[in-house]
Amino acid sequence: MLIKKTSRWTLSENEATPESVYRQRRDILKKLGITLVGMPIAAKANAGLFDAFTGSKKELKDARRALTTQTSQYSDKQLALTPESKILQYNNFYEFGTDKSDPAARAANFTTNPWNIEVGGLVNKPLTLGYEDIFSSFSLEERIYRLRCVEAWSMNIPWIGFPLAALLKKADPKNSAKYVAFETLYDPEQMPGQASRRLGGGIDYPYVEGLRLDEAMHPLTLLSVGLYGKTLAPQNGAPIRLVVPWKYGFKSIKSIVKITLTDKQPPTTWNLLAPQEYGFYANVNPTVDHPRWSQASERFIGEGSLFSSRRQPTKMFNGYAEEVASLYKGMDLRKNY
Ligand SMILES: Nc1nc2c(c(=O)[nH]1)N[C@H]1C(S)=C(S)[C@@H](COP(=O)(O)O)O[C@H]1N2
Ligand SMILES: [Mo]
C-alpha cells in the first residue's frame, strides 16, 4: 500500500513550532557528535515545561538511550509535536496506577532488561526476541503519528519503531490465523496496580489486546521501541509497545511479552471491563459517541499548560481514513465500535 497524498506527509515551512526546533537542534547536535541522552531530564532544554506540569523541578531517573532511525514515508512531518515532557508525564498505564502522573512516578525503577517477547500460536516459525533483538532485528523508523485517547484528549508523538508486519512475517502466520492477541507483562512486584485492585482500576491483569490479522499487517501498525530519538521510558511502555494510530489509545498495549496468532477474536481488557463502552474495534470515530461523552472533538495536548490546551475536531479514523477505511468496507461502524 502506498500513501498517495504526499502533501500530508511532507514538511511544511509554516509549521515552525518549538518542537520543530527540536529537530533542527537535534540534527545540529548530531553533526557535532553531542548527545543529550544520559543527562537528567530536568537539565534538558525543555525542562521548563515540567514546571507547568508538576509545579516543581523533579530529577527523574532517566535510563533512555539514543536510537538511530531511517526516514519513513509514513511519518506525518506536518504535525506540531506534543512536548516530550508531557508525553513522559501525562500517561495511562494502569499497572502503575490510574492517575495521569502515576506511571511516571511509579515506573521509574521498572526493569526492562532482560526482556523476552514470545511470538507463537498459529505460526510456522515461533520465535522469541530478547532485549537486544528488539532493537537490532529490524530497521527502526521515526513515525510521527496522532494519538487519540478514548477519553477525548490527543497528542502528536514522534514514535520510533518497526512495522508489526515485519515481525509477523518472520514468524510466518499459518493460513488459519485470523487474529493477533497481545499481552502485557504480569509482574505484581514491579507493577503496584496489579497487586492492588484499587490502584489498578479494577482491571484483571495481565492487560490484553487484539487486532484482526489484516489490521495487524497494515503498514501503519507499529511496534514502538522509542520516541523523541530515544528508547521508551517505562511509563510509555518500555521496552516495546504497540501503536495503532487510527484506533483509540487503549488498543496500543504497552510493555508486551507475548504475541499470539489465533483463529478466534481475542478478549481485550477494556471490552471485558465495560463491554457496552469499549468494543473490540475501537476505531476513532467522531460520529459514534461514547455512552458518557461526545467523541466529536478532543483536547489537543501541545505547548503551554494543560488547561490552555486547545480543542480540535476529531477526525474519522484519527486522520488515517485514506489509508485504513478500506479495512472496514461494508461494516456497520456503530455496531462494531
Ligand atoms: N498495558 C497497558 N497498556 C496501555 C494502557 C494501560 O493501562 N496498560 N493504557 C492505554 C491507554 S488508555 C492509552 S491512551 C495509551 C497511552 O499511551 P502513552 O501513555 O504512552 O501516551 O496507552 C495504552 N496502553
Ligand atoms: Mo486511552
61-106 pLDDT, tens digit each: 788 999 999 999 999 999 999 999 999 999 999 999 999 999 999 9
Report cis status (omega within 30 of 0) of the bond before 114.
Answer: yes
Task: Find, among 68, 337, 92, 326, the residue nearest to 220 by Cα.
Answer: 326
Nearest-angstrom CA–CA distance, 178 and 185: 24
Confidence band for 27, pLDDT divided at 50, 70 and 90:
low
Nearest-angstrom CA–CA distance, 10 and 7: 6
Which domains does the chain carry? 19-328 (3.90.420.10)
Strands (E), 122-178: 127-130, 141-148, 153-163
Ligand 1 in contact with 91 (CB < 6 A)? yes
Which residue is closest in CA terms to ligand 1's atom 23? Answer: 250
Expressed in angstroms and rounded, the spacing between residue 249 Cα and the centre of ligand 1 is 6
**pLDDT tens digit string along 103-144?**
999 999 999 999 999 999 999 999 999 999 999 999 999 999
φ/ψ of residue 101, rounded to 5: -90, -10
Ligand 1 in contact with 145 (CB < 6 A)? no
Q: What is the pTM of this model?
A: 0.86
Confidence band for 4, pLDDT divided at 50, 70 and 90:
very low
* Ligand nearest to the Cα of 270, by number: 1
Ligand 1 in contact with 253 (CB < 6 A)? yes
- Positive/negative CA dihedral, 317, 322, 325, 327: negative
Record the cell numbers describing residue 218, joined without a space.
497494515
Expressed in angstroms and rounded, the spacing between residue 4 Cα and the centre of ligand 1 is 30
Which residue is closest in CA terms to ligand 1's atom 21? Answer: 91
Nearest-angstrom CA–CA distance, 99 and 166: 34
- 3-class DSSP state of 166: helix
Ligand 1 in contact with 72 (CB < 6 A)? no
Nearest-angstrom CA–CA distance, 241 and 260: 15
DSSP 265: P
Expressed in angstroms and rounded, the spacing between residue 92 Cα and the centre of ligand 2 is 6
User: Which residue among 81, 145, 250 is best mutated to probe the pocket of ligand 1, counting the most ligand atoms within 8 A of its Cβ?
Assistant: 250
Element (H, E) at 118: strand 116-121
What's the whole-number average pLDDT of the chain? 88
Cβ-based neighbour number of residue 136 at 10 Å: 11
**pLDDT tens digit string along 234-245?**
999 999 999 999
* pLDDT higher than 80, residue 34: no
Sole residue written with cell 482500576: 201
